[in-house]
């Protein structure tokens, strides 16, 4: 009558074969190419690169295809691949001041050197489904040809404030940046380590935390001082040459927020900053990151801890990684029957004792 | 000189270092047990045992102190080529290599912090011989008692007294290794 | 096999893990932080155990992987295959023949021996975590041996239920110093932690911690003089092999509420039946 559950190996093979078929969908519909995903699902590719901590649009597109469009699964594929790559060295810090910007806006100044560049944005689009896209036949005007080349050497807005000491100056790091993919997280974390964790954190988690600060849970009165998107050169020092060599280019989104000012009787008031930097065009993430970064700086800036989740470094950093989170969340579907059995025995024993106790109580006169 | 530094490492590092680690693990997990290792040919006076431990455990992220007697150019070159470990003063070392006398005073080595006792040094002590006599060892990893020819008792007693702080020690002689973690109690045999 | 480094991990990662294991062995029960890598299986599915196993494996090893005591549970199968593919090691289901055993939630019934390494997959390595969620706080509590909170929790159980209401993942104290989380094994298995001739290693990948029990370490389950620790199991014998001393799974056999009890340790049960031991329903079972 009883046959212990067997055949785990065959079950796994069958499930994986089924998965492949489900990924392909209806074979009468042409298969997606990696290039199509890379070119037409760019923002998904960007998110996978950002949270996968690996700048490679082709691999990110492949991961999205393999993951059936599940972006967290795709990020996981990229992370697991990334961790096997040898570390050849560190680049010199990228200079976002030299970014070839395709988008650059400031909410704090109406006009400014370099101008406001809207770029390819969803802002001001009316969110109406475009049925011409469904009909497969939208003609795309070649706007790029009619526009100026991406602007280069556009100055940072924050530097205008910095010149007048109206905004708090940022400390320069000493060059050694911690790497949480190589060292275990140690708390309390330095700001570079926090920023690294936030840069690869789950976009949805950061969005919600940032939103919570706007609604009063650790409010920091943020304005977008500047948001810029564009390509920057990545350079590496080659010891034999003695000067840095450009090894490639990455697209980045950078957000700097101007936040509520600090000050005291002895120190003149100054605005404070939050910072976000993310691979690709990922401005929701970059703005969220800036707000959360700023909220986490309460101690450094002499503010009170109000108990807001976004101020709580340990809470934020320990729960921001979606690969850690989804793995642990989903592991509860693994068998737990040994532990459940232990709980069953315990609850039966407790109930038995309670019932005996009740009986004994009834027998008392 | 250069060719000597390039040679003498593991021919098949993934496999040989795996076997070497198992010996090191067995040594540290069962204090007093003497194990045999192989696979390297380091420059004298570095023993095979010490060479195997260095190549198995050290790299660019593990500062290493070489005590007098082992702080020779051939040894430096060999270790640098095969591990890349930065050579440092005792207080900064994650690993330290030398004869027991040359490592004195051992109180210079890191014993960890009360909240991070793992941030402590591992000593690799070169010995003329390694035998199962002398000091009596008890503690984790030992069913009843074990014996090991320790170079002295007082320092290791002191090290046990500050548990969970303390340094951990490997002893090496030729191709033999043994371990003495900070948790082991030592008494005169 | 040639696509992967031996046992998947690169050498630098293995060295980092190996150093953490050695420190863990030197400080029994203390959780050593390590830079856990992203593995090709999800966090929470044994990545810590897999990294520890990968750092320990040699080609000569015979590996056994169990989940819930069984070799055939899907995650055990998946991990066993991973090492067959990446390390080319022999595998076995026989506890006595294995040199390394990776486990989730059980310690086998067959006693472990000196030649064996026993690797636990650990979800939450911090025994104080559910009393104090902050790592910065729990680290300080371990530093100061401030374990009163744990006893308060256990005592509150007694006040409410008349007994300690923790049936698995039952905290222990190692060599009189660190309070340690034995991973979610049923408390039935706790006595096997102490004085065990095998080396026991614990890996928590997501939480980036490795810890160890050297062979023969003294491990005490926390309790009170008037409420001593009791290792408990279902009050039945195995319906297949008749064992009275093994941990049992309860299996619902129909919708009439009938059930049977079988060994959770499938290798142990199979071995007893092969030796002719028969339980209540063992004659009919496949």
Say how many C-beta atoms besides its own lie within 10 A of residue A12's C-beta. 15
pLDDT of residue A7: 64
Q: How far apart are CA C218 and CA A245, in angstroms?
A: 58
Which SS3 state, helix, strand or coil, does residue C142 take? helix
A12 shares contact with chain C (CB less than 8 Å): yes
| CB crowding A232-267: b at 16 or more within 10 Å, else e | bbbbeeeeeeeeeeeeeeebbbbbbbbbeeeeeeee
Whether residue C234 contacts residue C249, with contact meaning beta carbons closer than 8 Å, is answered with: no
pLDDT per residue as tens digits for the range C8-25: 999 999 999 999 999 999
Q: Which residues does chain C have within 8 Å of residue B59's beta carbon, measured at their own beta carbons? A: 12, 15
Looking at the fold, whether A200 and A107 belong to one and the same domain comes out as yes
A177 assigned to some structural domain = no
- Residue B107's contacts (CB-CB under 8 Å, 6 or more residues apart) are none
ipTM: 0.97
pLDDT per residue as tens digits for the range A73-124: 999 999 999 988 888 888 999 999 999 999 999 998 888 888 899 999 999 9
- Residue B62's contacts (CB-CB under 8 Å, 6 or more residues apart) are B83, B85, B94, B95, C19
Q: How far apart are CA A287 and CA A227, in angstroms?
A: 8
- The C-alpha of C123 sits at a distance from chain B's nearest C-alpha, in angstroms, of 21
Looking at the fold, whether A195 and A233 belong to one and the same domain comes out as yes
Distance of CA C232 to the CA centre of its chain: 17
Q: Kindly list the catalytic residues of C.
A: 29, 238, 241, 263, 269
Q: How far apart are CA A60 and CA B30, in angstroms?
A: 47
Q: What DSSP element (H or E) covers C200?
A: strand C199-204
Whether residue A228 contacts residue A101, with contact meaning beta carbons closer than 8 Å, is answered with: yes
pLDDT of residue B1: 47
Q: Which residues does chain A have within 8 Å of residue C260's beta carbon, measured at their own beta carbons? A: 2
Q: What percent of chain C has pLDDT over 70?
A: 98
Range B78-81, long-range pairs (CB < 8 A, 24+ positions): B78/B4, B78/B5, B78/B8, B78/B42, B78/B43, B78/B46, B78/B51, B79/B54, B80/B5, B81/B5, B81/B6, B81/B9
- Residue A276's contacts (CB-CB under 8 Å, 6 or more residues apart) are A198, A199, A253, A254, A255, A256, A257, A285, A286, A287, A288, A289, A290, A293
Alpha-helical runs (H) found in chain A: 8-24, 34-40, 42-52, 57-66, 71-82, 131-134, 143-146, 157-163, 191-199, 203-214, 283-296, 313-319, 322-330, 337-363
Looking at the fold, whether A106 and A250 belong to one and the same domain comes out as yes
Looking at the fold, whether A51 and A115 belong to one and the same domain comes out as no
A178 assigned to some structural domain = no
Looking at the fold, whether A293 and A322 belong to one and the same domain comes out as yes
Q: Which residues does chain A have within 8 Å of residue C262's beta carbon, measured at their own beta carbons? A: 2, 4
Q: Do B24 and C16 touch (CB under 8 A)?
A: no
> Where in the sequence is the domain holding A36, given as residue range(s)?
10-82
- The C-alpha of C251 sits at a distance from chain A's nearest C-alpha, in angstroms, of 9
A146 assigned to some structural domain = no
Instruction: Name the residue among A131, A58, A316 with its Cα closest to residue A206.
Output: A316
Which pair of tokens denotes residue A79? 């992370």
Subunits in contact with chain C (3 or more CB pairs closer than 8 Å):
A, B
Q: A242 pLDDT exceeds 80?
A: yes
A136 assigned to some structural domain = no
Q: C188 pLDDT exceeds 50?
A: yes
Confidence bin at C272 (pLDDT 50/70/90):
very high
Q: At residue A341, what are phi and psi to the nearest 5 degrees? A: -60, -40
The helix-helix angle for B13-29 and C11-26 (nearest 10°) equals 0
Q: Do C232 and A1 touch (CB under 8 A)?
A: no
Q: Do C32 and B163 touch (CB under 8 A)?
A: no
Q: Which domains does chain B have, with CATH numbers?
A: 2-181 (3.40.50.11310)
Looking at the fold, whether A219 and A163 belong to one and the same domain comes out as yes
C42 shares contact with chain A (CB less than 8 Å): yes
pLDDT per residue as tens digits for the range C44-81: 999 999 999 999 999 999 999 999 999 999 899 999 99
Subunits in contact with chain A (3 or more CB pairs closer than 8 Å):
C
Looking at the fold, whether A166 and A40 belong to one and the same domain comes out as no
- Residue B97's contacts (CB-CB under 8 Å, 6 or more residues apart) are B46, B50, B54, B64, B65, B66, B67, B70, B123, B124, B126
pLDDT per residue as tens digits for the range A281-310: 999 999 999 999 999 999 988 889 999 999
Q: Residue B179 gets which letter from DSSP?
A: E
**Average pLDDT of chain A?**
89
Confidence bin at A363 (pLDDT 50/70/90):
low
Provide mean pLDDT across the span C181-195.
97
Looking at the fold, whether A288 and A164 belong to one and the same domain comes out as yes
C277 shares contact with chain A (CB less than 8 Å): no
B133 shares contact with chain C (CB less than 8 Å): no
**Stretch 138-157 of chain C: residues touching chain A, C-beta under 8 Å:** none
A260 assigned to some structural domain = yes
Q: How far apart are CA C119 and CA C104, in angstroms?
A: 9
A344 assigned to some structural domain = no
pLDDT of residue B91: 97
Which SS3 state, helix, strand or coil, does residue C222 take? coil
Subunits in contact with chain B (3 or more CB pairs closer than 8 Å):
C
C211 shares contact with chain A (CB less than 8 Å): no
Looking at the fold, whether A104 and A34 belong to one and the same domain comes out as no
A64 assigned to some structural domain = yes
Q: A152 pLDDT exceeds 60?
A: yes
pLDDT of residue C8: 93
Q: How far apart are CA A46 and CA A283, in angstroms?
A: 11
Confidence bin at C286 (pLDDT 50/70/90):
very low
Which residue of chain A has the CA closest to C104? Answer: A336
Looking at the fold, whether A53 and A197 belong to one and the same domain comes out as no
Mutating which of C5, C12, C26 best tests the B interface, going by the most B Cβ atoms within 10 A?
A: C26
Q: How far apart are CA C79 and CA C65, in angstroms?
A: 7
Looking at the fold, whether A212 and A279 belong to one and the same domain comes out as yes
Q: Which residues does chain C have within 8 Å of residue A346's beta carbon, measured at their own beta carbons? A: 165, 167, 232
pLDDT of residue A1: 42
User: Length of chain B, please?
Assistant: 189
Least CB-CB distance to C19: which of B29, B57, B143?
B57
A211 assigned to some structural domain = yes
Mutating which of B11, B52, B140 best tests the C interface, going by the most C Cβ atoms within 10 A?
A: B140
Which residue of chain C has the CA closest to B140? Answer: C217
Q: Do C199 and B163 touch (CB under 8 A)?
A: no
Radius of gyration of chain A (CA): 26
Q: Do A8 and C184 touch (CB under 8 A)?
A: no
Q: How far apart are CA A347 and CA C250, in angstroms?
A: 14
Q: Which residues does chain B have within 8 Å of residue C217's beta carbon, measured at their own beta carbons? A: 140-141
pLDDT per residue as tens digits for the range A302-341: 889 999 999 999 999 999 999 999 999 999 998 898 999 9
C261 shares contact with chain A (CB less than 8 Å): no
Whether residue B156 contacts residue B32, with contact meaning beta carbons closer than 8 Å, is answered with: no
Which pair of tokens denotes residue C178? 């660190």
- The C-alpha of A286 sits at a distance from chain C's nearest C-alpha, in angstroms, of 24
Looking at the fold, whether A63 and A198 belong to one and the same domain comes out as no
Q: How many domains does chain A have?
A: 2
Whether residue C174 contacts residue C142, with contact meaning beta carbons closer than 8 Å, is answered with: no
Which residue of chain C has the CA closest to A82? Answer: C38
Least CB-CB distance to C216: which of B22, B28, B141?
B141
Which has more confidence, C155 or C203? C203
pLDDT of residue C232: 85
Cβ pairs A/C, distance under 8 A: 153
- The C-alpha of C53 sits at a distance from chain B's nearest C-alpha, in angstroms, of 11
pLDDT of residue A364: 62
Which SS3 state, helix, strand or coil, does residue C262 take? strand
Q: Do B183 and C175 touch (CB under 8 A)?
A: yes
Say how many C-beta atoms besides its own lie within 10 A of residue B7's C-beta. 14
Burial class (CB in 10 A: 0-12, 13-18, 19+), A50: buried
Q: C29 pLDDT exceeds 90?
A: yes
pTM: 0.92
B162 shares contact with chain C (CB less than 8 Å): no
Q: A365 pLDDT exceeds 60?
A: no
Q: Which residues does chain B have within 8 Å of residue C20's beta carbon, measured at their own beta carbons? A: 118
Whether residue A254 contacts residue A280, with contact meaning beta carbons closer than 8 Å, is answered with: no
Q: Which residues does chain A have within 8 Å of residue C68's beta carbon, measured at their own beta carbons? A: 335-338
Q: A9 pLDDT exceeds 60?
A: yes
* Partners of B167 in the β-ladder: none
C62 shares contact with chain B (CB less than 8 Å): no
Alpha-helical runs (H) found in B41-175: 48-57, 73-83, 100-103, 154-161
Q: C199 pLDDT exceeds 70?
A: yes
The helix-helix angle for A191-199 and A283-296 (nearest 10°) equals 150
A17 shares contact with chain C (CB less than 8 Å): no
Report whether the peptide linkage leading into residue B164 is cis, meaning its omega lies within 30 degrees of zero. yes
Q: Do A327 and C187 touch (CB under 8 A)?
A: no
pLDDT per residue as tens digits for the range B54-111: 999 999 999 999 999 999 999 999 999 999 999 999 999 999 999 999 999 999 999 9
């Amino acid at each position: 009558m009883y046959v212990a559950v067997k055949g785990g190996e065959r079950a796994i093979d069958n499930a994986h074969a089924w998965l492949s078929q489900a990924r392909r969908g209806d074979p009468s519909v042409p298969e997606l190419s990696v290039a199509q995903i890379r070119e037409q699902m760019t923002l998904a590719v960007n998110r996978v690169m950002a949270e996968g901590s690996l700048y490679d649009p082709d691999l990110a597109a492949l991961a999205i295809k393999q993951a059936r469009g599940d972006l967290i699964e795709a990020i996981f594929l990229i992370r697991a691949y990334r961790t096997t790559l040898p570390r050849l060295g560190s680049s010199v810090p990228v200079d976002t001041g030299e970014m070839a910007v395709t988008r650059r806006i400031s909410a704090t100044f109406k006009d400014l050197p370099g101008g406001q560049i809207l770029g390819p944005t969803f802002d001001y689009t009316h969110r109406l489904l475009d049925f011409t896209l469904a009909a497969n036949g939208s003609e795309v005007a070649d706007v790029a040809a009619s526009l100026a080349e991406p602007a280069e050497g556009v100055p940072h807005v924050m530097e205008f404030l910095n010149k007048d000491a109206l905004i708090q100056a940022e400390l320069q790091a000493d060059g050694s940046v911690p790497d949480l993919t190589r060292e275990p997280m140690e708390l309390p974390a330095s700001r570079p380590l926090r920023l690294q964790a936030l840069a690869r954190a789950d976009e949805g988690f950061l969005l919600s935390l940032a939103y919570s600060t706007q609604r009063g849970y650790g409010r920091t009165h943020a304005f977008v001082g500047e948001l810029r998107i564009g390509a920057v050169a990545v350079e590496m020092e080659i010891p034999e040459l003695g000067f840095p060599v450009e090894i490639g280019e990455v697209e980045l989104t950078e957000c700097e927020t101007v936040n509520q000012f600090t000050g005291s009787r002895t120190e003149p008031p100054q605005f404070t900053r939050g910072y976000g930097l993310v691979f690709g065009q990922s401005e929701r993430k970059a703005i969220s990151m800036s707000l959360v970064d700023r909220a986490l700086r309460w101690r450094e800036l002499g503010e009170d801890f109000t108990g807001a989740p976004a101020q709580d470094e340990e809470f934020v950093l320990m729960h921001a990684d979606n690969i850690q989170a989804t793995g642990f969340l989903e592991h509860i579907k693994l068998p737990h029957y040994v532990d459940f059995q232990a709980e069953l025995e315990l609850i039966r024993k407790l109930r038995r004792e309670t019932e005996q106790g009740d009986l004994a109580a009834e027998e008392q006169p | 000189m250069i060719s000597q530094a390039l040679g003498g490492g593991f021919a098949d590092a993934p496999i040989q270092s795996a076997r070497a680690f198992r010996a090191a693990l067995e040594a540290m997990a069962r204090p007093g047990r003497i194990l045999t290792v192989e696979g390297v040919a380091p420059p004298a006076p570095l023993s095979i045992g010490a060479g195997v431990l260095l190549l198995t455990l050290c790299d660019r992220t593990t500062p290493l102190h070489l005590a007098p007697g082992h702080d020779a150019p051939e040894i430096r070159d060999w270790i640098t080529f095969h591990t890349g470990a930065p050579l440092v003063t005792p207080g900064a070392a994650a690993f330290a290599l030398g004869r027991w006398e040359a490592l004195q005073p051992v109180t210079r080595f890191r014993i960890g912090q009360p909240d991070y006792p793992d941030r402590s040094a591992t000593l690799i002590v070169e010995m003329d011989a390694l035998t199962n006599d002398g000091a009596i060892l008890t503690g984790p990893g030992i069913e009843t008692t074990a014996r090991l020819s320790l170079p002295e008792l007082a320092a290791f007693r002191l090290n046990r007294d500050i548990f969970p702080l303390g340094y951990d020690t490997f002893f090496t002689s030729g191709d033999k290794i043994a371990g003495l973690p900070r948790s082991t109690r030592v008494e005169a045999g | 096999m040639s696509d992967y480094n031996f046992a998947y991990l690169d050498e630098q990662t293995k060295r980092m893990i190996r150093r953490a294991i050695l420190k863990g062995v030197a400080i029994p029960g203390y959780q050593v932080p390590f830079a856990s890598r992203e593995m090709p299986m999800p966090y929470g599915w044994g990545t810590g155990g897999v990294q520890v196993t990968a750092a320990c494996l040699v080609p000569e090893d015979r590996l056994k992987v169990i989940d819930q005591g069984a070799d055939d549970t899907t995650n055990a199968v998946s991990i066993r295959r991973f090492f067959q593919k990446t390390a080319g090691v022999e595998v076995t289901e026989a506890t006595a023949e294995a040199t390394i055993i990776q486990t989730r939630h059980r310690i086998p019934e067959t006693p472990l021996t000196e030649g064996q390494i026993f690797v636990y997959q650990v979800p939450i390595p911090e025994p104080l975590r559910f009393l104090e969620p902050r790592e910065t706080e729990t680290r300080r509590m371990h530093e100061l041996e401030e374990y009163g909170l744990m006893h308060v929790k256990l005592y509150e159980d007694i006040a409410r239920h008349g007994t300690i209401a923790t049936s698995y993942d039952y905290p222990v104290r190692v060599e009189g110093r660190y309070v340690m989380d034995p991973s979610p094994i049923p408390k039935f298995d706790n006595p096997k932690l102490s004085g065990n001739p095998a080396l026991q290693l614990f890996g928590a990948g997501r939480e980036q911690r490795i810890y160890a029990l050297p062979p023969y370490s003294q491990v005490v389950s926390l309790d009170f003089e008037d409420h001593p620790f009791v290792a408990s199991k279902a009050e039945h014998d195995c319906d297949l092999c008749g064992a009275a001393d093994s941990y049992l799974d309860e299996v619902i056999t129909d919708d009439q509420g009938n059930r049977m009890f079988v060994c959770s340790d499938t290798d142990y049960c199979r071995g007893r039946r092969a030796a002719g031991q028969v339980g209540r329903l063992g004659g009919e079972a496949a």
